Amino acid sequence: MLLITCPYCREARPEVEFAYAGEAHIARPADPSAVGDAAWRDHLYIRSNTRGLHRERWRHVNGCGRFFNAVRDTVTDKFAATYKAGAPCPIDFAREGAER
Amino acid sequence: MIQARMIQEWKTLAGTPIPEVAGRLSVALAPDCARFSLRVRPDDRAALDAPLGIALPDRIGGVAVGAGGHALCLGPDEWSLLLPAEAAAGLGERLGAAVTVPFSLVDVGHREVGIAVSGPAATLALSSLCALDLDAMPAGSATRTILDRAQAVLIKHDAEQYRIEVWQSFADHVWTLLEVVSREIALDL
Ligand SMILES: [Zn+2]
């Protein structure tokens, strides 16, 4: 079974305790009515669909209940890092050569 | 109140006891208690210790003993209080009068059923429902987790004494699984 380290519980816990919650670091426009239709559509629906390291949200729903962010390789399913919501991503994506 | 009481009596598992496996495993309903869900900012937590009579644990998984009951830290700002009924009466009013920090105290007394699992085979029995490494789980800790498919809070008092706190609607499912596991342990399967 896949083990995921929750940054709040600071423990590796079984995958069944977690829920996936989509791509991370997507900022909602501060004033949605000021952005155009295309930009709003992109915000709502268009995601990077990365092959390789992907920054994504997870929730420890059957544990501490917290949302947090993770960097996972979508090819190998390996977690490179997990970190608290609001914290900067600990992996330098430019240096890793990832797409984003 | 009367209605809630009827629901609890209707859902009680006392009518289907699980036979004890002599010297190895006992599964029984835990004595009923009052339960509260307490939310408060981590920085404000200490203000509640004195009026509660329990030093709220500051680490997720921590269990503190006091006021005749237990306080479990389930999340960064979430605690579960399991208290004797007499300690619980008027608790919200007493806390509200004693502290000025914002907090939320919700009575969830009728939401859950307590199940005591004890004996040398307790860890083995629970491991059949739970993906956590229960041998590695520290004594005197608690966590929310998944038992089979049902969310529950698991408290490990020591290697042979556990308590499950599970929602009424999932309790029958967990109880039935424990019955099956108990039979397998009795037959040494
Ligand atoms: Zn957690």
What is the DSSP secondary-structure string of B100-157? Answer: -S-EEEEE-TTTEEEEEEESTTHHHHHHTTB-S-TTTSPTTEEEEEEETTEEEEEEEE
Residue B50: per-residue pLDDT: 95
How distant is the Cα of A15 from the closest Cα of chain B, in angstroms? Answer: 9
Listed residue (B116, B115, B122, B119) closest to B137, CA to CA? B122
The pLDDT of residue A59 is 98
Q: Which residues of chain A make contact with B146, given a CB cutoff of 8 A?
A: 14, 16-17, 62
The answer, for B124 touching chain A at a CB cutoff of 8 Å, is: no
Residue B59 lies in a domain: yes
Mean pLDDT in residue range B29-53: 95
Q: How many CB atoms lie within 10 A of CB A23?
A: 16
Q: Give CA–CA dist B63/A1, Å, rounded.
A: 28
% of chain B with per-residue pLDDT over 90: 86
CATH number at residue B110: 3.30.1360.120
Whether B21 has a pLDDT exceeding 80, the answer reads yes
Residue B78 has pLDDT above 80, yes or no: yes
Best CA proximity match to B154, nearest among A14, A42, A87, A68 = A14
Please report which confidence band the pLDDT of residue A12 belongs to, taking 50, 70 and 90 as the band edges.
Answer: very high
Domains parsed from chain A with CATH numbers = 3-96 (3.30.2270.10)
pLDDT band at B11 (very low <50, low <70, confident <90, very high): low
| C-alpha to C-alpha distance for B98 and B101, rounded to whole angstroms | 10
By CB atoms closer than 10 A (0-12, 13-18, 19+), residue B67 is middle
Q: Average per-residue pLDDT in chain B?
A: 92
Q: Is A27 exposed, middle or buried (0-12, 13-18, 19+ CB in 10 A)?
A: exposed
Instruction: Tell me: pLDDT of B155 over 90.
Output: yes
- Mean per-residue pLDDT for B101-124? 96
- B61 pLDDT exceeds 60? yes
pLDDT, mean of residues A80-84: 97
pLDDT surpassing 60 at residue A99: no
Q: What is the mean pLDDT of residues A13-22?
A: 97
- With cut-offs at 50, 70 and 90, classify the pLDDT of residue B1: very low
- Measuring CA to CA, which residue among B136, B101, B94, B116 is closest to residue B17? B116
Residue-range definition of the domain harbouring residue B127: 26-186
B109: in domain: yes
- Choose from B144, B151, B164, B170 for mutation: most chain A CBs within 10 A: B144
B83 — pLDDT class (breaks 50, 70, 90)? very high
pLDDT at A95: 64
Q: How far is A6 from chain B (nearest CA, A)?
A: 11
Tell me what percent of the residues of chain B surpass a pLDDT of 70.
Answer: 94
Write down the pLDDT at residue B189: 83
- The size of chain B, in residues, is 189
Using a CB–CB cutoff of 8 Å, tell me whether A5 touches chain B. Answer: no
- Among the ranges given (A88-92, B6-10, B78-82, B94-98), the one the predictor scored with the smallest mean pLDDT: B6-10
- Assess if residue B10 is contained within a domain: no
Region label for B150, one of left (φ > 0), alpha (ψ between -120 and 50) or beta (otherwise): beta
- Report pLDDT for A96: 59
Which chain A residue's Cα is nearest to B80?
A: A64
Residue B7 predicted with pLDDT over 80: no
Domains in chain B, number: 1
Q: Are A57 and A68 spatial neighbours (Cβ–Cβ below 8 Å)?
A: yes
Q: In this structure, is residue B165 part of a structural domain? A: yes
pLDDT at A70 over 50: yes
The stretch A15-27 carries a mean pLDDT of 96
Contact criterion met (CB below 8 Å) for A74 and A95: no
Q: What is the mean pLDDT of residues B108-115?
A: 94
Task: Give the mean pLDDT of B56-83.
Answer: 96
Give a yes or no: residue B92 inside a domain. Answer: yes
| Residue A72, pLDDT score | 96
Task: Say which DSSP state B17 is in.
Answer: P
Cα dihedral: B134, B135, B141, B147 (round 10):
10
- Checking if the pLDDT of B5 tops 70, the result is no
Higher pLDDT, B86 or B6: B86
- Asked whether the beta carbons of residue A17 and residue B131 sit closer than 8 angstroms, the reply is yes
Residue at B174 is within a domain: yes
